[in-house]
Amino acid sequence: MTLDHDSLRAEALALTAAWCRIPSVRGDRQALAAQVEAIRSWLIGRLGAEIVAIASPTGGAPVIHARLDVGAAHTVILYNMYDVMPADPLGWSVPPFTGGDVVLDGVGPAFVARGAENNKGPLAGMLCALASLRDAGLLRVNVEILVEGEEESGSAGLRAYLADPDCRVRPARSALFPSFCEYGGGPARIYLGFSGIAKGAISARGGAWGGPQRAIHSSNAPWIANPASRLVEALGLFGTAPTGALGHIALDAEAAAIVDTLAETFDPAAELRFRHTQTFSLAGTPRALLTHVLTTASGSLSSLSTEPSDADGVIPQAAHARFELRAPPGLDPGALLGAYRTRLDRARLDGIEITLDDCYAGHRFGGTADGVAALAEAYRDAPLPPQTWPWAIGAAPAYAFAPHADSFLLAGLGRGGNAHGIDEFLALDGYGRFLLSLTRWLGAMAD
């Protein structure tokens, strides 16, 4: 028996649309619970999977652990996520939590909704691919399924679940995070690891050091310190402008060889278009750009605010900066934050508070790790030759999977875009390629 790829694509798109209508945003406990129930019901009713656990080790959105045991010799882990970022309907072609088909400039026919790319489209496709393989009697590998609802806020529950000495995840050859990896419509990418991250807030609040403890008239500026000015001073020590660079690593021999090969096909102009940016912060060859972005730890500021917000003619009582500190494997984000705290102390910048929401280190796997070679089969129909990166510049808790699998890989054909932004989309002409790449990887992992 062979797969009916048209039926698989139609089912996966319908499931994507249905799940994108559930606004499973962080903090919306009712919507998150509805999404968990929708996934649980589908896993049992359509996939016939065993629910191993629905657990909340840290009290947040649950981790769903399911299993398909077909009595095979090998096991893999498929991981994905059901939480999404908030979305204001302003500027969208369709309401973000309704979704719909839209023809996008430079992309063509696409399904637009919050979660279409990140990551309900890949999640629905992942599960429907498993169901189709099972229906056709073609699933020849056991599958541990892990779906979490805290990826956008640090994956604390998943990390705790995987770290439990009694964790029921079975040892696996490889763990795969299926995603649309034809970024910007360019060559599909394979990531052999992930950066680490620390995220939180840097704040200045009026107190013993100076500054008012409630907002006062700005005419007091000559003799009363401003917490917003103190915060600006502290942020000047956070990292080197304009990118917030905090440290660097050197590429080892294997990573350097991967970057040498990657640089041969890397297109800086295409990358800028994909990032909606006109120029990089530094000049250099493709290899120099790649080496810099892969080896540099940076502190990025995502928002600045004061208390009260949007005030006029006052000295505020507090000022806050949200940050994300990303570091390549080999640099500990927690240690970099500690070094920043030391710089603040040496500068005698009292009144600065650092609130840490989450922190974990990066992790990488080698180019010969189990599961990597199978991606050559998975990417056989890629429109362009794929690119291998030694690790992603984005963060994911790869280290948490390392005790359970020989690799943790982000991969998949297909194109999406505008994650976290307006008109988040999955390109309809690439969705079939995504599903095919996943079924081929599962087949290769059975051999």
Using the predicted structure, report yes or no on whether residue 214 has a pLDDT greater than 70: yes
Q: Cβ(196)–Cβ(332) under 8 Å?
A: yes
C-alpha–C-alpha distance, residues 204 and 216, integer Å: 16
15 φ/ψ angles, rounded to the nearest 5 degrees: -70, -40
281-335 pLDDT per residue, tens: 999 999 999 999 999 999 999 999 999 998 899 999 999 999 999 999 999 999 9
Using the predicted structure, report yes or no on whether residue 179 has a pLDDT greater than 70: yes
Q: Cβ(20)–Cβ(123) under 8 Å?
A: no
6-43 pLDDT per residue, tens: 999 999 999 999 999 999 998 899 999 999 999 999 99
38-52 pLDDT per residue, tens: 999 999 999 999 999
Residue 80 burial by CB count (10 A; 0-12/13-18/19+): exposed, middle or buried?
A: buried
Question: Hey, where are the domains in the chain?
Answer: 5-192+365-445, 196-360
More confident residue, 88 or 275: 88
pLDDT classification of 2: cutoffs 50, 70, 90: confident
Q: Give the side-chain half-sphere CA count within 13 A for 408.
A: 23
Percent of the chain past pLDDT 90, that is, above it, reads 94
Q: Cβ(221)–Cβ(206) under 8 Å?
A: no
Q: Where are the alpha helices (DSSP H) in 136-155?
A: none
Task: Return the CATH class of domain 196-360.
Answer: alpha beta
Using the predicted structure, report yes or no on whether residue 154 has a pLDDT greater than 90: no
218-230 pLDDT per residue, tens: 999 999 999 999 9
Q: Token pair for residue 277?
A: 């940016």
Q: Residue 169 carries which DSSP code? A: P
pLDDT classification of 1: cutoffs 50, 70, 90: low
Task: Provide DSSP, 295-315.
Answer: HEEEEEEEEEEEESTT-SSEE
For residue 30, the model assigns a pLDDT of 97
- Would the pTM of this model clear 0.95, i.e. be above it? no
Q: Token pair for residue 228?
A: 């917003």
Q: Residue 426 carries which DSSP code? A: E
C-alpha–C-alpha distance, residues 89 and 416, integer Å: 19
Q: What would the mean pLDDT of 238-262 be, rounded to a whole number? A: 94
The CATH-assigned architecture of domain 5-192+365-445 is 3-Layer(aba) Sandwich (3.40)
